[in-house]
Structure 1
Amino acid sequence: MFQVALPAAAETIAAHDAALTQAPRLVEARDIRGWIAVNHFHNRCLWAQEDLARRTQAPAAEIVANKRAIDRHNQARNDAIERIDEFLLAALGLVDPATLGCALPRATAAPTARLSSETAGSMLDRMSILGLKIAAMREQTLREDVGDDHRHCCGERLLRLTHQRADLGACFDELLADARTGRAYFKVYRQFKMYNDPRLNPALVAEAQ
């Protein structure tokens, strides 16, 4: 079992927001907080590439490059979620360590524990994305090239997004608290992004043949 202090929602939200004040930088993940930072990095890159991919006057080759980058960052983002869940479950003693690298890691929770359909890693991923939405919506409230109606509308959305993130953070903390006491658990779910695998994507298989 990993002897580590598990991340709280407030700590993670603060780290996400602090990262957004600096240029994106991919760190080498050595622990749970490193993987949280990696996940946030790839979400930031995804956000930028999604904006670029929706341009209507860019050359087709640039849009293709944006789409390829989206696939890469999305795969890396999901890989980070899996690593986060592995670290958390190992720290909580809720998974057989010998099975962590398998397609179906074996849970070791008590039979009476409640299974959460959403993993803690997925919740942290959603917190990361909400942090990006909050930052982007806040920028909209500060624009001077739009009218008051636009800024007011975006201000209301900003408030809603802030509430969403706070609610999600409370649910995350509650899940970890319940998992510590054996009342709840979650599993490592493999994403199996088939479209990125040349052995599983029918279009890529057809190309190879």
Structure 2
Amino acid sequence: MPEQASFSLPSSSSPSPSDSVSFVSAVLDLHRDTVAGWHEREPDNPYEGLLATICHQHQFNFLLWHEEDVARSHDVTDARIAMVKRAIDGYNQNRNDWIERIDEAIIESLGEAGVSPQNDAGLNTETPGSAIDRLSIMSLRIFHLEEQLDRDDVDQAHREKVTERIDRCRLQLADLSNSLSELLADLFAGEKLLKVYRQMKMYNDATLNPYLYNKAA
């Protein structure tokens, strides 16, 4: 990726997640703007506060996306594929680690706001960090689908298929955004609980992956 030092995003402070609609709107802007910018320069992070954490998590999805593209190429060497696979494992681990950090930051915000869950508050099936991760991936999918519309080597049928997929992705993005806004509003109203669920992936731990510890022995 060529770097263009003359272009950078303006620094942006984090809106409070307690203002759920404004916060989710800022997250969507961050995902959209950085995906477009990072295709012209090295990934950067000009944000502050919780948005900086979200941007950092988003970077790993961006890097992971493009390594996945290489992994499906048939004209690269086995050695290159091995390098890509190791990169994918690393980016995916970091992606999940930073989902947890987003949730930890939101729990901290709940504490700072003095929010106490109601006695009958229940858990959601998905944490805010996981929803933000899905929005990150969707922003990448929409960007790369829109690239398909500018190709000179495709026919109208291809463009119509891509347009249909873009419309579906935008609908999913809107639905997930609304659900995230509602979840955050419920959390700050004390109507929902938030816990950090650790991924605890075993394959990256040399003491838990049988192939690794048996080979070492």
What TM-score does the superposition give when structure 1 sets the normalisation length?
0.87
User: 2:59 and 2:15 mapped to 1: Cα distance?
Assistant: 23
Contact 1:52-1:66 within 8 A present in 2 as well: yes
User: 1:50 and 1:26 mapped to 2: Cα distance?
Assistant: 21
Q: Which runs of 4+ in 1 moved over 2 A?
A: 26-31, 108-111
User: 2:197 and 2:117 mapped to 1: Cα distance?
Assistant: 16
User: 1:161 and 1:54 mapped to 2: Cα distance?
Assistant: 23
SS of equivalent residue, structure 2 residue 86:
helix
| Counterparts in 2 of 1:26 and 1:72: CA distance versus 1, 3 Å | farther
Decide which of 162, 170, 186 is 2:170's aligned counterpart. Answer: 162
Decide which of 24, 27, 32 is 1:17's aligned counterpart. Answer: 32
The answer on 1:78 being equivalent to 2:93 is no
Contact 1:4-1:91 within 8 A present in 2 as well: no
Unaligned stretches of 5+ in structure 2?
A: 1-13
Match of 1:5?
16
Name whichever of 3-12 and 148-157 sits farther off: 3-12
Match of 2:158?
150
Unaligned stretches of 5+ in structure 1?
A: 95-107
Provide the identity percentage.
Answer: 40
Decide which of 102, 122, 134 is 1:126's aligned counterpart. Answer: 134
After TM superposition, give the deviation of residue 207 of structure 1 in Å.
1.3
Contact 1:81-1:121 within 8 A present in 2 as well: yes
RMSD between superposed Cα atoms in Å: 1.9
The answer on 1:32 being equivalent to 2:50 is yes
Residue 182 of structure 2 aligns with an amino acid whose one-letter code is: E
Contact 1:118-1:186 within 8 A present in 2 as well: no
Match of 2:11?
none
User: 2:26 and 2:189 mapped to 1: Cα distance?
Assistant: 21
| Counterparts in 2 of 1:205 and 1:29: CA distance versus 1, 3 Å | farther
After TM superposition, give the deviation of residue 4 of structure 1 in Å.
6.8
Name whichever of 3-12 and 80-89 sits farther off: 3-12
Decide which of 59, 65, 77 is 1:47's aligned counterpart. Answer: 65
Contact 2:187-2:193 within 8 A present in 1 as well: yes
| Counterparts in 2 of 1:68 and 1:170: CA distance versus 1, 3 Å | same
Match of 1:206?
214
Decide which of 192, 196, 200 is 1:188's aligned counterpart. Answer: 196
User: 1:179 and 1:75 mapped to 2: Cα distance?
Assistant: 27
* Matched residue count: 194
Contact 1:117-1:186 within 8 A present in 2 as well: no
User: 1:155 and 1:27 mapped to 2: Cα distance?
Assistant: 31
SS of equivalent residue, structure 2 residue 190:
coil
